[in-house]
Amino acid sequence: MCGFVGFTGTDEQSELVLTAMMNRIIHRGPDMGGQHIVDNVALGFRRLSILDLSEAGAQPMSSDDGKVTIVFNGEIYNFQELRAELEAAGYAFHCNADTEVLVHGYEEWGEDLVNRLRGMYAFVIHDQNKNKLFGARDIFGIKPFYYYQASDGSLLFGSEIKSFLDHPKFEKAVNHDALRPYLTLQFPATEETFFRGVFKLAPAHCFTYDLTTNTMDIKRYWSCDFTDDNSKTFEEYVDECDKVVHESVAAHRIADVKVGSFLSGGVDSSYIAACLMPDTTYSVGFDYKNFNETNYAAELSDKLGIKNVRKMITADEFFDALPDIQYHMDEPQSNLSSVPLYYLAQMASEEVTVVLSGEGADELFAGYEWYEDTPEMRSFKKRVPLGVRRALGSLVQHLPYFKGHNFLTKCAEVPERWYVGQAKVFDPSEVDEVLKPAYDTGKNAAEMCAEYYKQVPNCCELSKKQYLDMNMWLPGDILLKADKMCMAHSLELRVPFLDKKVMEFAEHIPANYRVNEEGCKLVLRHAANRTLPDEWATRKKVGFPVPVKFWLREQKYYDYVKEYFTAPWAADFFDTDALMKLLDDHFEGRALNQRKIYTTLTFLIWYKRFFIDEDKGAEVAA
């Protein structure tokens, strides 16, 4: 895992600019760096050595004739098979790094290369023969990719937005349309990021950039397909799941450095750790009352004969880390688990270079609570035909809110009307109450979700929810924090559940095998039970419990938030009286506003870091 930067439109200052951009992301690759400045294209790379630790694996890497050059962040897990195929076609290899497979693979297959890859990746190839750039991002969005087209047509691109700050043609400004959906969803959901003009290359997309015309063409090259395959029994699915997961873990453990595992004590990370059997697992909890669940991780590690290293996070550590976390995140993100993940990565990086973790299992195998019906909903669905429930669901949309309104809406099995993913912080009407008009301009959460629901009109309710989360929540929240928090400490995170072969299996599990009256994520839980004790295979999902609602009722942390909420520049975005009411009502016990407070706070911390502190630093440097 590494990081890259690049731009078109080179001049006599290009080497200095490229070096500054590379230095901005040195945390992604502290081992070595390299540059390629040819024909109006500049590519820069920072390397964290994982495979082939020698100089031979350095990037940018070029073809034998020097006409195809790549910068690549990630890992290709089927590189050995692809290499054998390319060697049979006559290509000579000079190192054992997976990067060289991409170079020769592009020479042999062109843009079709992306359809052959199994792995996590973001890359850019400079093709001098065709005077173009070709780039891609992996099918899940595990690795980040950002780009920005300057007013003169030149293109900036890289693994992190912050590297653009050091390019003279980058015009830094806040995207007015990003704040509204963020306040509901807690993550940056818009394709255009919080930095105006900076875009994310979406997962499973690739692009070509014509260096003659300065035009970019983007296309999707893969999409998940939740189509039930009813040809197998439940037990057959469980057997196959166990084989697929074990094989994926084996593929993800390949490295020339030490590999560890994150372990929370839940079924996902426990299953991965039990398959991997690393020397060490790493766990974090909070030094506050009952917010420490690391005992589960320690107990499982003991049963497996594995060393477990743990850390307890204090309230001061939590709040002290927020500015650094939002800087590394590049965009505001208010998932509370980002903080424990930050400290978890910091701790693990002291001993290992690579860790495996359990992200993605809930999206692929249907593990979220929102995917299940309550007992009352199940009873109602059994007694009332779907057609009647659909009619009732449509009717209540035209009536004022009443007790039972949400129940009838959900029982209609039309998630487009209510399901916006795993987080709903501010209701859209509440967003309108706190945002200033200039920033209350973007789409609301439901409007953003509608774009994805339109792509799967014939899927069942469960598959629609999973498809939405695969395309929004997973890359926008889960994988964003996974990459950025680990890379902040030069640690490579690998996620065996988010594997092409695992996906090809999981997407065809029948819906009633994924979720039913027995619970959710059933095939995976039963498969995990082949390796794990019952207590771990059946444990209910809890995530990273964080005691922030209690801390915000302590004067010290109330004052911390108040300083941001009452800052003069906060009034550019928010009705600060409304913000203070949220904070005061929570502090005095009249309401539970911790999620709204924290989501607003993280935006203000992000803004201060990039638009106030960054500018002050530039003035001092000048």
**Lookup: tokens for 98:** 């997976």
Alpha-carbon distances of 74 from 60, 125, 600, rounded to whole Å: 14, 14, 32
Specify if 283 maps to a domain: yes
pTM, two decimals, is: 0.95
The dihedrals phi and psi of 476, each to the nearest 5 degrees, come to -80, -30
- Where among 516, 537, 558 does a domain terminate? 537
Residue 376 CA, distance from chain mean position = 34
Closest CA to 449 of 413, 431, 422: 422
Residue 574 lies in a domain: yes
pLDDT at 32: 81
225 is a domain residue: no
Is 158 found in the same domain as 22? Answer: yes
Q: What is the pLDDT of residue 545?
A: 77
DSSP 371-403: GSPPHHHHHHHHHS-HHHHHHHHHHHTTS---T
Phi, psi of 527 (to 5 degrees): -65, -45
Alpha carbon distance 124, 511 (integer Å) = 38
98 marked as binding residue: yes
User: Do 174 and 94 reside in the same domain of the chain?
Assistant: yes
Q: How far out from the chain centre does Cα 269 lie?
A: 17
- Tell me the H-state helices in 305-460: 315-329, 338-349, 361-365, 375-383, 386-396, 405-411, 428-434, 445-453
Looking at the domain assignment, is residue 267 inside a domain? yes
**Residue 410: φ, ψ to 5°:** -70, -35
The strand pairing partners of 600, in sequence order, are none
In degrees, rounded to 5, the angle at the alpha carbon of residue 391 between the alpha carbons of residues 388 and 392 is 90
Token digits for 287? 């030094």
Q: Phi, psi at residue 127, to the nearest 5°?
A: -100, 100
The structural domain count of the chain equals 4
Last residue of a domain, one of 511, 537, 563: 537
**Cβ atoms of 48 and 31 closer than 8 Å:** yes
226 inside domain: no
- Are 354 and 492 contacting, i.e. CB atoms less than 8 angstroms apart? yes
**For residues 179 and 194, what is the distance between their CA atoms, to the nearest angstrom?**
8
Q: In what order do the strands lie in the sheet with 205-210?
A: 61-62, 68-76, 119-127, 132-137, 205-210, 215-220
pLDDT of residue 618: 62
Answer yes or no: do 496 and 526 share one domain: yes
Closest by Cα among 299, 315, 313 to 347? 313
Q: Any idea which residue has 């941001």 for tokens?
A: 564
Check whether the bond before 60 is cis (ω within 30° of 0). yes
- Whether 354 and 376 share a structural domain: no
C-alpha 281: how far from chain center: 22
pLDDT given at position 350: 95
Q: Look-up: residue for tokens 């439109």?
A: 9
In this prediction, residue 246 carries a pLDDT of 97
93 and 175 in a single domain? The answer is yes
Looking at 454-492, list the stretches that DSSP marks H as alpha helix, in order from N- to C-terminal side. Answer: 461-471, 473, 479-487
Cβ atoms < 10 Å from Cβ of 115:
10
Asked whether 538 and 268 are in contact (CB, 8 A), the reply is: no
User: What are 77's two structure tokens?
Assistant: 């897990």
Rg over alpha carbons for the chain, rounded to the nearest Å, is 24
- Of the candidates 359, 290, 326, which has an alpha carbon nearest to the alpha carbon of residue 546? 290
The CATH number for 71's domain is: 3.60.20.10
Q: From the first residue on, what is the mean pLDDT of each consecutive set of 10 residues in the chain (622 residues)?
A: 90 93 94 91 85 70 96 95 97 91 97 97 98 98 97 95 97 97 96 98 98 96 94 97 97 86 91 95 87 83 94 96 98 96 96 95 95 94 95 93 93 94 91 94 93 95 96 96 97 96 97 94 96 80 80 98 98 97 98 97 98 76 52
CB within 8 A of 148, min separation 6: which ones? 155, 156, 157, 164, 170, 195, 197, 198, 199
d(CA 577, CA 586): 14
Q: If you search the block for the tokens 């300083």, which residue do you land on?
A: 563
Under 8 Å CB-to-CB from 234, ≥6 apart: which residues?
Answer: 513, 522, 523, 526
Asked if 275 and 531 count as a contact pair (C-beta separation under 8 A), the reply is yes
Give the model's pLDDT for residue 96: 87
Q: Is residue 430 part of a domain?
A: no
Instruction: Evaluate the CA torsion angle 342, 343, 346, 347 in order and state its sign.
Output: negative
Together in a domain, 211 and 283: no
Q: Are residues 28 and 101 in the same domain?
A: yes
The answer as to whether 109 is a domain residue is: yes
> Looking at the structure, do residues 213 and 358 belong to the same domain, yes or no?
no
Q: Do residues 46 and 97 share a domain?
A: yes
Residue 119: inside a domain: yes
Which residue segment(s) compose the domain that 382 sits in? 372-425+440-459
Helices (H), 164-233: 179-185
Residue 143 confidence (pLDDT): 97
Residue 345's nearest CA partner among 491, 160, 496 is: 491
* 89: amino acid identity, one letter: A
Nearest-angstrom CA–CA distance, 33 and 22: 8
Distance of CA 225 to the CA centre of its chain: 20
The answer on 282 and 320 residing in a single domain is yes
Q: What is the pLDDT of residue 534?
A: 81
Q: Which of 2, 206, 275, 486 is catalytic?
A: 2
Can you tell me the distance from the alpha carbon of 515 to that of 512, in angstroms, rounded to the nearest whole number? 5
Q: How many CB atoms lie within 10 A of CB 317?
A: 15
Catalytic site residue 449? Answer: no
Same domain assignment for residues 157 and 13: yes
Last residue of a domain, one of 518, 537, 556: 537
pLDDT at 215: 95
Listing DSSP states for 75-105 in one string gives EETTHHHHHHHHHHTT----SS-THHHHHHH
357 is in an annotated binding site: yes
Query: Edge-to-edge strand order for the sheet containing 41-47?
Result: 32-38, 41-47, 3-8, 155-158, 146-149, 198-200
Measured between its terminal Cα atoms, the distance across the chain in Å is 34
Same domain, 206 and 137: yes
Q: How many residues appear in the chain?
A: 622
